[in-house]
């Protein structure tokens, strides 16, 4: 416990006091502590001495370096002092200014590029939105000012493409009614005087006219608007508008703020900021405007006349007249020059259409096929049986139906054309016309009426000539009679000879179909066994062959159609039958009671045919009595 006692060294005055006060172990420990403390102090002293030495070395090096730098500074200062002349100073300041100018030019070029791109972007926006053309012109001129000799080829190409787009936009705008700003914008972009602006404006309107060539009324509207706009704008209004543009610099237009004008303005040169467009706004006299309008009007009239000619070539009569009314109404409200050429075009076209429409029936007739014989009823036809039977009763087949339809259409065409002529005579314009124009209107109607009369004079004989030709070609006489009947209902004409000819052909056809041989043979017989047909020793009815022959004739005539057997046709048929019997019997006819009865019975039906037979009064009465009983069997022959 005693060995662990710590002796504070500061309390001992000497080593004798330590030995006297404490036991040896403690003194020994105290000695160890003192030796250990001395070692530590020695190490610390050594460390301090080493650090101080290093600091001294660093300080020495710093002093040496500072001395070298001071020497170098003195040397440089001496050199500067030696070289510091006025020429050297000026050269230094020049280099500094050159560097600053180069930096400024770089910033200016960057700003120009920025404003250039913004201006073209705004031009594209205005064009796309169909905005103010004058704003588009100002923006384009500003962009063009920013393109100088140092501009790249890409910028020049971009500007050229944008110029084309702007001019196309101005052309579209000039096609409308409000075009004063577009004209000013064109003058800005192209830097042209009013005379060239007028020329460009008329060229644009001419292009619009050519695009409207399919719409003649649209061409006239453009023509009228152009004449009105030119008289209203040139020369005074356009001169004032161009003079107004020269009063204010383009840069001061507040609508240019979208190009970051307020931000980039410090780097924009005064030359651009103060640029004011100068356009020669005078020099266009009223006489120049009149001369340009006269040239333009002459070209437009020629184009309108040509367009009208092409347009009416595709129209029918009614549409041609409607177009004539619209064109003449619009044209006469603009000018009276060239009216007669337009009238002649319309009158000639209407006359040609009149001739075509009235002659169309001839085309149908040429394509119409007339069968050589009449066809029988086909109950298996697709048409209803009742309709077919009715058509058959009226003698209507496909040929006659087509012929009738063609004539009816032709008649309606003629009536409508007559109304058209009447409409042309009554047509009046909503403009003040002199006597010459009114006379021209009457002449147009007279020309169309003359064409109509001429066509009718050609068509009527042509129809009957076609019928005559078909008759001569061996067409079915029944069909031809019906065609002739339908034609005479609609086209009045004396065709007695043709009718007689057809009646004769019809009778000949029946005679060829029902030969008289059996009847003639019966009349030549002596009728030895005919007493069965007699009463009280006298005949009371004709021979069966005679009666059958008459019935066959009646059936054949009926099969051809009851509508054919007019009194004239029946008369011709009876005459031909009588002549045929007379020629067949000849001079060798020997009369007997039976054939005398037959001959007298035939003469009641057919009329006398040259046979001299003498019958008793009893036979005559028997013939009359038998006829009264049987005439209803011969509906056609009994007429």
pLDDT in tens, 82-100: 767 777 777 778 887 888 7
pLDDT digits (tens, 9 = 90+) for 293-334: 999 999 998 998 898 888 888 888 788 888 888 888 888 878
For the chain, give the percent of residues with pLDDT over 90: 10
382 falls in which pLDDT band (50, 70, 90)? very low
**Does residue 399 carry a pLDDT above 80?**
no
C-alpha span between 66 and 79 (Å, rounded): 19
Kindly report the pTM of this predicted structure: 0.60
Please give the pLDDT value at position 247.
86
- DSSP letter at 535 equals E
Contact status, residue 464 vs residue 495, Cβ threshold 8 Å: yes
- Shortest CA distance to 559 belongs to which of 605, 602, 513, 601? 513
Please give the pLDDT value at position 118.
86
Contact status, residue 350 vs residue 448, Cβ threshold 8 Å: yes
What CA dihedral angle connects 500, 503, 508 and 510, to 10 degrees? -170
C-alpha span between 163 and 157 (Å, rounded): 10
Contact status, residue 135 vs residue 174, Cβ threshold 8 Å: no
C-alpha span between 543 and 207 (Å, rounded): 96
**Does residue 606 carry a pLDDT above 90?**
no
468 falls in which pLDDT band (50, 70, 90)? confident
Please give the pLDDT value at position 369.
60
Please give the pLDDT value at position 385.
56
633 falls in which pLDDT band (50, 70, 90)? confident
C-alpha span between 404 and 258 (Å, rounded): 79
pLDDT digits (tens, 9 = 90+) for 432-463: 445 455 565 667 777 777 777 777 777 778 77
Residue 7 region by backbone torsions, left for phi larger than 0, else alpha for psi between -120 and 50, else beta: beta
The better pLDDT of the pair 292, 350 is held by 292
**Does residue 202 carry a pLDDT above 90?**
yes
**Does residue 9 carry a pLDDT above 70?**
no
In this structure, of 255-259, 327-331, 600-604, the range with the lowest mean pLDDT score is 255-259
- For tokens 């177009």, the residue is 323
What is the average per-residue pLDDT within 349-376?
68
Please give the pLDDT value at position 1.
41
Please give the pLDDT value at position 46.
79
Contacts of 139 (CB under 8 A, 6+ apart): 119, 120, 122, 123, 126, 256, 259
Range of 27-31, 39-43, 58-62, 121-125 with top mean pLDDT: 121-125
pLDDT digits (tens, 9 = 90+) for 510-565: 888 887 766 777 676 655 445 566 777 778 888 888 888 888 888 888 888 888 88
- For tokens 């006829």, the residue is 627
Q: Taking the CB of residue 478, how many other CB atoms lie within 10 A of it? A: 22
Beta partners for residue 202, in sequence order: none
The better pLDDT of the pair 607, 414 is held by 607
For the chain, give the percent of residues with pLDDT over 70: 84
C-alpha span between 444 and 450 (Å, rounded): 10
Please give the pLDDT value at position 347.
82
C-alpha span between 274 and 484 (Å, rounded): 95
pLDDT digits (tens, 9 = 90+) for 33-57: 888 888 888 888 878 777 777 788 8
pLDDT digits (tens, 9 = 90+) for 56-71: 888 888 888 888 888 8
What is the average per-residue pLDDT within 117-144?
89
How many whole angstroms from its chain centre is CA 12?
Answer: 133
What is the average per-residue pLDDT within 103-115?
79
What CA dihedral angle connects 313, 318, 322 and 327, to 10 degrees? 30
C-alpha span between 524 and 527 (Å, rounded): 9
Please give the pLDDT value at position 245.
86
Please give the pLDDT value at position 396.
64
What average pLDDT does the chain have?
A: 80
Please give the pLDDT value at position 351.
81
């Amino acid at each position: 416990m005693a060995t662990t006692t710590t002796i504070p060294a500061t309390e001992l005055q000497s080593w004798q006091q330590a030995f006297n006060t404490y036991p040896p172990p403690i003194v020994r420990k105290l000695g160890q502590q003192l030796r250990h403390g001395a070692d530590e102090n020695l190490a610390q002293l050594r460390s301090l001495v080493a650090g101080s030495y290093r600091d001294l070395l660093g300080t020495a090096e710093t002093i040496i370096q500072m001395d070298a730098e001071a020497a170098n500074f003195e040397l440089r200062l001496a050199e500067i002092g030696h070289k510091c002349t006025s020429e050297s100073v000026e050269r230094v300041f020049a280099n500094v200014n050159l560097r600053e100018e180069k930096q400024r030019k770089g910033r200016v070029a960057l700003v120009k590029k920025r404003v250039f791109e913004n201006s073209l972007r705004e031009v594209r926006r205005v064009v796309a939105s169909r905005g103010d053309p004058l704003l588009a012109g100002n923006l384009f001129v500003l962009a063009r000012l920013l393109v100088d000799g140092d501009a790249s080829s890409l910028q020049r190409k971009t500007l050229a493409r944008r110029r084309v787009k702007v001019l196309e936009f101005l052309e579209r705008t000039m096609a409308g009614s409000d075009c004063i700003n577009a004209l000013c914008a064109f003058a800005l972009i192209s830097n042209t005087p009013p005379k060239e602006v007028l020329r460009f404006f008329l060229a644009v309107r001419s292009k619009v006219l050519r695009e409207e060539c399919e719409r003649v009324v649209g061409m006239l509207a453009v023509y009228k608007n152009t004449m009105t706009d030119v008289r209203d704008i040139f020369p005074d209004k356009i001169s004032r508008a161009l003079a107004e543009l020269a009063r204010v610099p383009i840069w001061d237009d507040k609508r240019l703020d979208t190009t970051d004008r307020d931000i980039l303005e410090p780097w924009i040169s005064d030359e651009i900021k103060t640029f004011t467009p100068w356009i020669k706004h005078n020099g266009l006299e009223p006489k120049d405007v009149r001369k340009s309008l006269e040239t333009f009007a002459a070209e437009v009239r020629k184009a309108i006349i040509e367009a009208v000619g092409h347009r009416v070539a595709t129209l029918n009569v009614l549409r041609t007249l409607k177009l004539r009314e619209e064109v003449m109404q619009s044209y006469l409200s603009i000018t009276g020059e060239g009216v007669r050429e337009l009238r002649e075009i319309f009158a000639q076209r209407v006359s040609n259409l009149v001739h075509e429409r009235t002659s169309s029936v001839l085309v149908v007739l040429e394509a119409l096929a007339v069968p050589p014989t009449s066809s029988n009823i086909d109950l298996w036809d697709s048409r209803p049986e009742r309709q077919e039977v009715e058509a058959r009763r009226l003698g209507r087949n496909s040929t006659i139906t087509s012929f009738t339809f063609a004539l009816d259409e032709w008649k309606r065409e003629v009536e409508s054309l007559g109304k058209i002529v009447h409409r042309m005579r009554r047509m009046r314009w909503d403009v003040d016309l002199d006597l010459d124009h009114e006379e021209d209107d009457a002449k147009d109607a007279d020309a169309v009426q003359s064409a109509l009369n001429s066509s009718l004079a050609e068509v009527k004989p042509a129809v009957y000539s076609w019928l005559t030709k078909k008759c001569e070609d061996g067409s079915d006489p029944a069909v031809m009679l019906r065609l002739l009947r339908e034609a005479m209902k609609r086209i009045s004409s004396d065709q007695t000879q043709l009718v007689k000819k057809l009646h004769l052909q019809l009778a000949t056809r029946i005679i060829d179909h029902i030969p008289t041989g059996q009847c003639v043979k019966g009349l030549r017989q002596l009728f030895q066994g005919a007493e069965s047909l007699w009463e009280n020793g006298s005949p009371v009815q004709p021979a069966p062959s005679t009666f059958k022959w008459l019935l066959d004739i009646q059936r054949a005539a009926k099969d051809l159609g009851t509508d054919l057997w007019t009194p004239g046709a029946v008369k011709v048929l009876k005459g031909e039958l009588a002549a045929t019997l007379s020629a067949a019997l000849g001079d060798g006819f020997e009369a007997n009671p039976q054939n005398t009865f037959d001959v007298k019975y035939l003469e009641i039906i057919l009329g006398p045919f040259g046979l001299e037979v003498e019958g008793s009064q009893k036979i005559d009465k028997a013939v009359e009595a038998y006829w009264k009983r049987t005439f209803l069997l011969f509906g056609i022959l009994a007429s």
